[in-house]
Structure 1
Amino acid sequence: MVASVAVIQGAGGSLGSHFARHLLKRTSLSVVGTSRDPAAAKKAILDGAGDGFDPSRLTVLELDVKREDSVAQAASDVEKRFGAKSLRLLINASGVLHADKSIRQVDMDQLLETFQLNTFGHLLAFKHFCRLLPQKNDMRKSQADSADQDPANGAVHPGLSVLASLTAKVGSMGDNKMGGWIGYRASKAAANQTIVTLQRELSMRSTPSIALALHPGTVVGTNLSKPWTREEDAGKKPGVHDADTATAKLLDVISGLGEKDGGRFLNYAGEELPW
């Protein structure tokens, strides 16, 4: 059977819930959202989503990225429900921003939470869900190279699986001109390194899968961005979007990638960003 499951880690947030909505509408994949509060996440995904999709394709599981046993259990639940080689797409969308403006404002508790949500949780999701990636022989047997039989409906290249994390342009060391937000920047840079290292491992394994770091731009109206953005600015400046637009653009980027595109750091327009 062709890999037919998309997992959105952090599906209760603005970006995670909109990723899930788009995938329900644009594909025939089974969509699995994960959250510390599954009921709230399901509500966030379905409220205001409108019609045009089958809500029975949505499964929401409990997952707390601060607890590895919780991540492992969610991966086991997906395997039991959908099969051992079922993973087509994983998007890590969890994140937090504590805006320390200088090194003197760094707080240990906030720093630990920042790395737990922005880096370690993403890494642990990769660790436990990776085993659900199909191998090349699985893909051949499934006829996944036939686009008209592919439940991804073009959202992921036929015969390919994608592991992606939302990082951020401010995690780029090459682009850091202003400083500030040191904990957030460091956690995103560490997440980027995780992506590059994971891609090296995927390249040595017999799995047609790629890992990506993705920058959504400045997304207004989210819990993370509300203190620094205005919702009315969406679309008025390059790279400033609402969550619906940002996630649609990132899924468009993913849809255009092939097996040779692993280990890249891309923005919402598919442009390469410096590490």
Structure 2
Amino acid sequence: MLQKMRYTHAIVVRIPSKIKFDDKKLAKSIDLVAARKEQEDLNETLREAGVDIIELAPDENVAETFSLFPDDWSIVINGTALLTRPKKQSACRFQEIKGILKDLTWQILETPEQEHGKPVILEGSDVLFTGKEIFVGIRKNGTNLEGALVVGRIFADLPVIPIQINTKHPLKYYVSVAADGVLTTTNEKESVSIRTKMEREAAHRYKVLTLEKEEAVNCISVNNHLIFRTDVGELKFGLLERPTELWGITATELSKIGYPISKFCLLVKKIKSAKSVMS
């Protein structure tokens, strides 16, 4: 049964006045004032879609880019929150996230350091929940097979399908949920490879919206609203049918800090009890 992509809350981290970048050239090219404005516009668009925004204050002491990506820190599906184990775990604000998720979910679990005796790496941007099943991207310097095994064990009531990725980008860079039963991707080489693997392994079938611009693939489907980037010149979103409503945002500076843009918000559907998981 397809679970509609319904959410009640989004956890975000406000962008601080300074950010530590590994790439100094990139750091000089970013307008942080504009990035904060773009983040505010994203948050306001989520509010208009019926989502309550829970903001974490900026961490002016650490201010690593990864400290701004709550979607990488936790996977929340059907009332269960799984705290992840990224490579940059020190940048994750797990205690604050746990405190918030305690009021929104009915159980919070932590990813172990090891699975079957091997180290685990798990990042939320590699985990795509379609409402029917879970795809987990496996890539160098990102989520590994052991991370996918943890997801499969925790969410054992859903099909969990590992997908090998041959580049540095996470799975949500190449595939996204545009509407219930509809995925976005492109005809770029790696995207085609990933799509082929997904179609071969998937337990369900999806409609696919093939976009022209790779930067447009990542979008946020929430409560019959599709939040997508208008600053990349992608026109094919207009092919989506009602009840999906299109809500455009600009993320020119935000995407320089981190991409895909879904990293900037952890979407959660508040669950009062285990009985209300599928309601």
Bigger proportion of residues as strand: 2
Provide TM-score, normalisation by structure 1.
0.28
Bigger proportion of residues as helix: 1
